[in-house]
């Protein structure tokens, strides 16, 4: 029986193995930090594969979160997933990282008719998207100040960080979700559902939503021109 390997580094490093047939979580690892993707990701993958007696070349495929997320952390996961896929000769599927948060909302007993999920975008902003109670995205993804979010329930770590601003804007931050980040297990759940529905997930292009802090100096642009 084969498993899918799921990777997301849009927030903390999160790695999971899920059963190809049932989609159930086999095992996972999640870092407690948000800046150690380079140090932890490969070790987590090796540990999961070794623990489960799974060989990389026998995986059903690799699922990777494509963001939105900070440049450095997100690139680590995408480069790793593409490299593993090339070396092991298995397909790589890209899924928007915010979908993992939406899947976590859908697991709750009382899902709002419409809701927002939000992750930390730093710079006093959040990455966010709007969903209906079937899990379909009906708006986004966006990056903005929390005060710009619609007046509806907001789930995810972004809701916890900016709870006061959200409340002032008329939104409803959901306390039970204040620790939620994009989890590779939930990312895989969304991917398998999309694949079963015939969706093409071959695109693993990163969704940054804004330009990098590392800009080319003006004199270099002029010289290049």
What's residue 223's pLDDT? 44
What's residue 1's pLDDT? 61
What's residue 134's pLDDT? 96
216: pLDDT confidence band, cut at 50, 70 and 90? very low
What's residue 185's pLDDT? 97
**C-alpha Rg value of the chain to the nearest Å:** 18
Q: What is the reported pTM?
A: 0.91
Taking only the tens place, the pLDDT of each residue in 7-32 is 999 999 999 999 999 999 999 999 98
Q: Which residue has the higher pLDDT, 30 or 220?
A: 30
Contacts of 95 (CB under 8 A, 6+ apart): 63, 64, 65, 66, 187, 190, 191, 194, 201
Span 83-97, mean pLDDT? Answer: 98
Taking only the tens place, the pLDDT of each residue in 45-76 is 999 999 999 999 999 999 999 999 988 899 99
* pLDDT-wise least confident of 23-27, 30-34, 130-134, 169-173: 30-34
Neighbour count for residue 65 (Cβ, 10 Å) = 33
Span 38-46, mean pLDDT? Answer: 93
Contacts of 191 (CB under 8 A, 6+ apart): 4, 6, 63, 93, 95, 201
What's residue 211's pLDDT? 62
Tell me the C-alpha distance between 141 and 137, whole Å. Answer: 9
Cis check: omega of the bond before 14, within 30 degrees of 0 = no
What's residue 38's pLDDT? 85
The count of C-alpha atoms lying within 13 angstroms of the C-alpha of 219, restricted to the half-sphere facing its C-beta, is 0
Q: Which residue has the higher pLDDT, 145 or 110?
A: 145
- Residue 90 clears pLDDT 70, i.e. is over it: yes
Q: 107 with 91: CB under 8 angstroms?
A: no
- Residue 218 clears pLDDT 80, i.e. is over it: no
Mean pLDDT of the chain: 92
Span 135-156, mean pLDDT? Answer: 97
- Residue 220 clears pLDDT 50, i.e. is over it: no
Q: Is 135 helix (H, G, I), strand (E, B) or coil?
A: coil
102: pLDDT confidence band, cut at 50, 70 and 90? very high
């Amino acid at each position: 029986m084969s498993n899918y390997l799921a990777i997301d580094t849009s927030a903390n490093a999160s790695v999971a193995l899920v059963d190809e047939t049932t989609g159930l979580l086999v095992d996972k690892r999640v870092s407690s930090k948000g800046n150690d993707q380079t140090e932890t990701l490969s070790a987590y993958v090796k540990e999961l594969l070794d623990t489960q007696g799974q060989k990389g070349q026998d995986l059903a495929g690799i699922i990777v979160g494509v963001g939105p997320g900070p440049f450095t952390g997100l690139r680590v996961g995408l480069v790793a997933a593409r490299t593993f896929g090339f070396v092991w000769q298995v397909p790589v599927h890209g899924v928007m990282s915010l979908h993992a948060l939406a899947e976590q909302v859908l697991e709750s007993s009382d899902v709002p008719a419409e809701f927002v999920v939000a992750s930390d975008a730093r710079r006093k902003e959040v990455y966010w998207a709007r969903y209906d109670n079937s899990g379909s995205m009906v708006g986004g993804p966006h990056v903005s100040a929390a005060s710009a979010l619609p007046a509806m329930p907001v789930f995810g770590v972004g809701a916890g960080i900016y709870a006061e601003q959200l409340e002032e804007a008329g939104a409803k931050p959901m306390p039970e979700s204040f620790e939620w980040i994009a989890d590779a297990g939930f990312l895989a759940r969304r991917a398998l559902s999309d694949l079963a529905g015939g969706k093409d997930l071959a695109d693993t292009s990163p969704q940054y939503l804004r330009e990098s802090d590392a800009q080319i100096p003006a004199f270099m642009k002029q010289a290049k021109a």
